[in-house]
Amino acid sequence: METRLTLKENAVLISPRHPFVVIGERINPTRRKKLAARVAAGDFSMVQEDARLQVEAGAQVLDVNAGVPGADEPALLRGAAQAVMEVVDVPLCLDSANPKALAAALEVYPGKALTGSTTAEARMMDMVFPLAKQFGAVVIGVITDDRGVPPTAQERLRAAENLIKRGADYGVPLEDILIDALALTVSADHNAGRITLDSLRLIQQELGVNLILGASNVSFGLPDRKTINVAYLALAIANGLSAAITDPTLPEIQTSLLACDLLMGRDEYSAHWIKAFRAPKKAKAEAEAVK
């Protein structure tokens, strides 16, 4: 099962057979007051800087969120997406629960975008899947349903089955749906991380669909979040995770993911690991040569 995202000629493949895909999370005004104020004013300079830094750090896809309370989200998401595409050439995840905002951004997107997201609630699926079909986009399907967050792996599997079935009803194929088994914070429920890991494994085994997580959520409210996030990503990858929305600018994240690809047999001849190891030495040598 391969999920293909594109921006013009640039393509990214998501599947258990390919290297893990990092979707940069930083273009999000939530809990970032300065960014929220700039975006609300139509100033996308910080958005563009975040885009550059994340791609330089190794992000293969960028999440773009323009959800500022009280603002014109369709106009802002469209503007933010256009601003990002001016400075980088990686595919985008257009991140909104507002179908009008998704449509506004998809109209100007030259390729196969990732849209985030729909839940397994009927009203959301009936709004988002037609957009995905219309614009040829890939959909993130979050396993929350009309009753809330399913408490067990089996119930999350049923929500995933419902998402896939409704997507098929609208002509969205299985490869164009990424299932988000929902990473919840372990500070609120110490079993939350384990239930999500069980859900990843079960959904992948039963449905063969590609899996995604907003991985940083698991550590919210706890100290030393980086250590928790790194460990959780490694465990999730071992249970079938193929992509995550996370912060690529943290060296610990990138190093861990490179090691996971190596150990999971996705780094032929250890090429990516060796290249990453040599990069700092090469940069230092080039800097000294300039002097």
* pLDDT attached to residue 283: 66
Q: What mean pLDDT is predicted for residues 96-106?
A: 94
pLDDT tier for residue 279 given thresholds of 50, 70 and 90: confident
CB 21 within 8 A of CB 242: yes
Q: What mean pLDDT is predicted for residues 266-286?
A: 84
User: Is 71 exposed, middle or buried, given 0-12, 13-18 or 19+ CB atoms closer than 10 A?
Assistant: middle
Residue 11 DSSP SS3: strand
Dump pLDDT digits (tens) for 215-274.
Answer: 888 999 999 999 999 999 999 999 999 999 999 999 999 999 999 999 999 999 999 999
State how far the alpha carbon of 16 is from the alpha carbons of 120, 253, 267, 282, in Å. 24, 19, 12, 31
- CA dist 286 and 32 (Å) reads 36
CB 89 within 8 A of CB 7: yes
CB atoms within 10 A of CB 251: 11
Render the burial of 97-123: b for 16+ CB within 10 Å, e for the rest. Answer: bebebbbbbbeebebbbbbbbbbbbee
pTM of the model: 0.92
Report DSSP state, residue 249.
T
- CA dist 55 and 52 (Å) reads 5
CB 58 within 8 A of CB 80: no
pLDDT tier for residue 178 given thresholds of 50, 70 and 90: very high
Dump pLDDT digits (tens) for 121-170.
Answer: 999 999 999 999 999 999 999 999 999 999 999 999 999 999 999 999 99
Dump pLDDT digits (tens) for 55-91.
Answer: 999 999 999 999 898 899 999 999 999 999 999 999 9
Report DSSP state, residue 267.
S
pLDDT tier for residue 45 given thresholds of 50, 70 and 90: very high
* pLDDT attached to residue 150: 95
Look up residue 214 and give its amino acid.
G
- CA dist 245 and 131 (Å) reads 22
- CA dist 151 and 181 (Å) reads 11
pLDDT > 80? residue 288: no
The closest of 111, 89, 93 to 246, measured between CA atoms, is: 93
pLDDT > 90? residue 22: yes
- CA dist 178 and 1 (Å) reads 11
pLDDT > 90? residue 290: no
State how far the alpha carbon of 56 is from the alpha carbons of 168, 250, 251, 284, 285, in Å. 37, 12, 12, 17, 19
* pLDDT attached to residue 117: 85
Phi and psi of 261, rounded to 5°?
Answer: -60, -40
Name the H helices within the chain.
33-40, 45-57, 73-87, 99-106, 122-135, 153-169, 192-207, 225-238, 251-263, 271-290
Residue in the structure block whose two tokens are 């500070």: 187
Q: Which domains are delineated in the chain?
A: 3-290 (3.20.20.20)
pLDDT tier for residue 284 given thresholds of 50, 70 and 90: low
Helix axes 45-57, 73-87, angle to 10 degrees: 50
Report DSSP state, residue 20.
P
* pLDDT attached to residue 30: 87
